């Protein structure tokens, strides 16, 4: 039903965690952090349809926390409940159906727009694809391209901007229609014009769903029902935007 609850969640990365993308300097840093807890007792509830924002300095544990919900990692201690069920008792397939993720680099794995969208819903008709693209405010652009839905996205295809790729990823989210959406700095790295377009698409995509939004700026999560400030793996402040801005 879209309810997400974390109960005293603690987490540390196991040694030998995936450091394959780290540079050599980063590996030196990671070696020290591997033994350090990344989350030190985090509790909150996102009621169905609520937007909960996570803000805080880089390294605070925001992305790690978000990955515990679709069970990319298992908690070291405590509990994560999705729809009242401990994620350890849910199947990964059901969690993937219930939770949609949009991150700062869109995962457009497939050649054409049609294939990228059908990944979310293999049986989708072209009408449904166009409706999703319209919801994500990218239908007009795709319609203007000679190959339409068959336009390729990769290196040799049409050069979509970062914001356009995000909107295609959002169209995929609309087709998937999950009850829970996780946005991990979905508008980071975009110029302000594309950011505004992606924000508009996101407001359509988030309507009626539970959302956990990781944001780099407090101003982008003004409408959140709860803002959690994470620092050093703990929630150090929580409140609505006006409450947090008031205390500075």
Q: Which positions lie near ligand ADP, rule CB under 6 A?
A: 13, 17-19, 30, 33-34, 38, 56, 58-64, 70, 96, 99-101, 107, 109-110, 116, 119-120, 172-173, 176
Residues in Cβ contact with 125 at an 8 Å cutoff, skipping those fewer than 6 apart = none
Q: How far is CA 223 from the centre of its chain?
A: 17
Minimum Å gap between C-beta 231 and ligand ADP is: 9
SS3 state of residue 237? strand
CB of 172 to ligand ADP, least distance (A): 6
Q: Scan for tokens 């949609």, then name that residue.
A: 100
The nearer residue to ligand ADP, 119 or 158, going by C-beta atoms, is 119
Q: How far is the CB of 217 from ligand ADP (least distance, A)?
A: 14
**Cβ distance to ligand ADP smaller for residue 74 or 193:** 74
Q: How far is the CB of 152 from ligand ADP (least distance, A)?
A: 14
Q: What is the distance of C-alpha 180 from the center of its chain?
A: 10
In the sheet that holds 234-239, the strands lie side by side as: 99-103, 180-184, 210-214, 51-55, 226-231, 234-239
Closest Cα partner for 44 from 2, 93, 9, 94? 9
- Quick one: 145 or 188, whose CB is closer to ligand ADP? 188
Residue (107 or 143) nearer to ligand ADP, CB: 107
**Would you say 185 or 195 has its CB closer to ligand ADP?**
185
CB of 227 to ligand ADP, least distance (A): 14
What is the rounded CA–CA span in Å between residue 141 and residue 18? 38
């Amino acid at each position: 039903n879209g309810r997400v609850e974390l109960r005293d969640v603690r987490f540390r990365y196991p040694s030998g965690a995936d450091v394959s993308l780290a540079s050599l300097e980063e590996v030196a840093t990671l070696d020290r952090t591997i033994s350090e807890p990344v989350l030190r007792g985090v509790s909150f509830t996102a009621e169905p349809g609520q937007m909960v924002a996570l803000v805080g300095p880089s390294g605070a544990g925001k992305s790690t926390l978000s990955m515990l919900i679709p069970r990319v990692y298992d908690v070291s201690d405590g509990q994560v409940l999705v729809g009242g069920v401990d994620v350890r008792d849910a199947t990964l397939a059901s969690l993937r159906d219930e939770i949609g993720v949009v991150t700062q680099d869109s995962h457009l794995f497939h050649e054409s727009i049609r294939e990228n969208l059908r990944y979310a819903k293999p049986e989708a008709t072209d009408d449904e694809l166009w409706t999703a693209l319209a919801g994500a405010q990218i239908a007009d652009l795709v319609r203007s391209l000679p190959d339409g839905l068959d336009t390729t996205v990769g290196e040799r295809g049409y050069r979509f901007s970062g914001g356009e790729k995000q909107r295609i990823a959002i169209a995929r989210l609309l087709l998937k229609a999950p009850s829970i959406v996780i946005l991990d700095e979905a508008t980071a790295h975009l110029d302000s014009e594309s950011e505004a377009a992606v924000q508009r698409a996101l407001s359509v995509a988030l309507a009626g769903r539970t959302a956990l939004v990781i944001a780099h700026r407090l101003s982008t999560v003004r409408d959140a029902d709860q803002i959690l400030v994470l620092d050093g793996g703990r929630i150090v402040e929580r409140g609505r935007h006006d409450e947090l801005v008031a205390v500075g």
